[in-house]
């Protein structure tokens, strides 16, 4: 059993608490939050768990592994302190607010032989893992492009914009599926409700393999949509996470260009085959993710979404949103000018 502790009992923390109390290898020992009412609520629910308002006292109470579910701006400081105190550390997504800070955490964890993992829950969800298998097995052929839509009304985050809240999920899925970093990225968006905080945005990525992807994210949309489309030369997949069943549908559809029989003639042929919905496990992704972290600690293995992966996700988001860093990019920066908070603020 690994003695586990949790920092942060806001919106997401209680989900982690439930799973930490449930996971077989976890001895859920302590929690920490600045808010006494949240600590009291948790103590009523899990009577054996110690509560702390002070992080130093929490880190001294004998936990082996620390889970961090606090606002993004606090991740680096809290994770650094926990690693330096000798703990294994799980940090909710994204690992840190800059790739430089994420890299520093990865280096500290590696130098102290501690397990560091970023909480990219979707990378552990059965539909996402199934699609990874389909891509890697070649069943889809060459992946031409991927499109992601993650939109709904709210929840407006207090500390970050919609890109750092919602697009982090899509970028983690994208990097996991493709196993390569983008060479070029762009984004544009708008601050519709609050000054200097984008609530709608589009991000584009181009990969060294030639594959392209785009993500649409919004907190300002009438309907909830969690839809991803992956188009390959052999098959196409629609992954709809709002579907109660058949979340993944694989279509034997496509278009191919036939060899011209006469000079100047070309013909397209359309393939309209069957749709298959693969069987998927109903296991809870958050529990799979926490079990994976505890297994990695025990085995001394690198997690699927370890420090390096968490760092790559942050770097890909930075590529799409920073004016300063776009190696080899040919598109105009004009799109990015629309997303810079101060410019958007001036325009509002
Ligand atoms: N994996 C997922 O699907 C998923 C979903 C939602 C949120 N998240 C992530 O979870 C994290 C938390 O998000 P949230 O919406 O729960 O935030 P929140 O603001 O609702 O809650 C944060 C909690 O942390 C506490 N806190 C802040 N600073 C602290 C400190 N220094 N020491 C101790 N406690 C402190 C606050 O009092 C609060 O209770 C974020 O990183 C977010 O991206 C992940």
Ligand 1 within 6 A of 54 CB?
no
Residue 111's pLDDT is 98
29's enclosing H/E stretch is strand 26-32
Ligand 1 within 6 A of 72 CB?
yes
Ligand 1 within 6 A of 310 CB?
no
By mean pLDDT, which of 257-266, 313-322, 325-334 is the weakest? 325-334
Tens of pLDDT, residues 228-276: 999 999 999 999 999 999 999 999 999 988 777 776 666 888 999 999 9
The tokens describing 322, both together, are 């920073």
Intra-chain end-to-end CA distance of the chain, in Å: 54
Q: What is the mean pLDDT of residues 214-222?
A: 98
Ligand 1 within 6 A of 341 CB?
no
Quick one: which of 4, 307, 331, 20 has its CA closest to 182? 331
By mean pLDDT, which of 133-147, 188-202, 227-241 is the weakest? 188-202
Nearest-angstrom CA–CA distance, 222 and 194: 18
| CA of residue 1 to ligand 1 center, whole Å | 26
What is the location of CATH 3.40.50.720 in the chain? 2-120
Strands 212-218 and 143-153: parallel
| Assigned CATH class of 2-120 | alpha beta
Tens of pLDDT, residues 5-43: 999 999 999 999 999 999 999 999 999 999 999 999 999
Q: Please report which confidence band the pLDDT of residue 141 belongs to, taking 50, 70 and 90 as the band edges.
A: very high
What is the location of CATH 3.30.360.10 in the chain? 123-284+314-347
By mean pLDDT, which of 80-84, 139-143, 337-341 is the weakest? 337-341
Residue 342's pLDDT is 44
Quick one: which of 231, 198, 224 has its CA closest to 320? 198
Quick one: which of 162, 188, 183 has its CA closest to 334? 188
The arrangement of secondary structure in 123-284+314-347, i.e. its CATH architecture, is 2-Layer Sandwich (3.30)
Nearest-angstrom CA–CA distance, 328 and 88: 38
CA–chain centroid gap for 283, Å, is 19
**Which atom of ligand 1 lies closest to the CA of 165?**
43
Tens of pLDDT, residues 113-131: 999 999 999 999 999 999 9
- pLDDT > 70? residue 324: no
In the block, tokens 């109470």 appear at: 61
Ligand 1 within 6 A of 68 CB?
no
Which among 9, 11, 73, 96 is the best mutation to test ligand 1's pocket, defined by most ligand atoms within 8 Å of the CB? 11
Count of other CB atoms within 10 angstroms of residue 211: 20
3-state helix, strand, coil in the chain (%, to 5): 35, 30, 35
Q: What predicted TM-score, i.e. pTM, was given to this entire model?
A: 0.92
Which among 7, 9, 12 is the best mutation to test ligand 1's pocket, defined by most ligand atoms within 8 Å of the CB? 12
């Amino acid at each position: 059993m690994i003695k586990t502790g949790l920092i942060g009992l806001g919106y997401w923390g209680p989900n982690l608490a439930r799973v930490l109390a449930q996971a077989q290898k976890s001895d859920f020992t302590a929690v920490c939050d600045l808010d006494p009412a949240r600590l009291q609520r948790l103590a009523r629910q899990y009577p054996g768990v110690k509560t702390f308002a002070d992080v130093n006292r929490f880190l001294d109470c004998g936990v082996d592994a620390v889970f961090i579910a606090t606002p993004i701006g606090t991740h680096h400081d809290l994770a650094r302190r926990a690693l330096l105190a000798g703990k294994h550390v799980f940090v909710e997504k994204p690992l840190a607010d800059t790739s430089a800070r994420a890299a520093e955490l990865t280096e500290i964890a590696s130098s102290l032989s501690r397990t560091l993992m970023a909480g990219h829950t979707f990378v552990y969800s059965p539909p996402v893992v199934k699609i990874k298998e389909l891509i890697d097995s070649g069943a889809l052929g060459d992946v031409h492009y991927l499109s992601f839509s993650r939109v709904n009304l709210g929840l407006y985050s207090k500390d970050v914009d919609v890109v750092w809240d919602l697009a982090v999920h899509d970028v983690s899925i994208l990097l996991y599926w493709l196993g390569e970093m983008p060479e070029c990225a762009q984004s544009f968006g708008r601050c519709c409700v609050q000054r200097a905080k984008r609530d709608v945005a589009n991000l584009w990525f181009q990969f060294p393999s030639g594959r392209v992807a785009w993500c649409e994210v919004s907190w300002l949309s009438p309907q909830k949509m969690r839809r991803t489309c992956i188009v390959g030369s052999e098959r196409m997949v629609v992954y709809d996470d709002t579907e109660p069943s058949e979340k993944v549908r694989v279509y034997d559809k496509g278009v191919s260009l036939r060899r011209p029989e006469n000079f100047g003639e070309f013909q397209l042929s359309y393939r309209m085959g069957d749709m298959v919905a693969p069987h998927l496990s109903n296991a809870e992704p958050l529990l799979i993710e926490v079990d994976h972290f505890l297994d990695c600690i025990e085995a001394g293995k690198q997690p699927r979404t370890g420090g390096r992966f968490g760092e790559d996700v942050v770097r890909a988001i930075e590529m799409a949103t920073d004016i300063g860093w776009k190696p080899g990019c040919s598109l105009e920066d004009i799109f990015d000018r629309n997303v810079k908070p101060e410019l958007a603020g001036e325009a509002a």
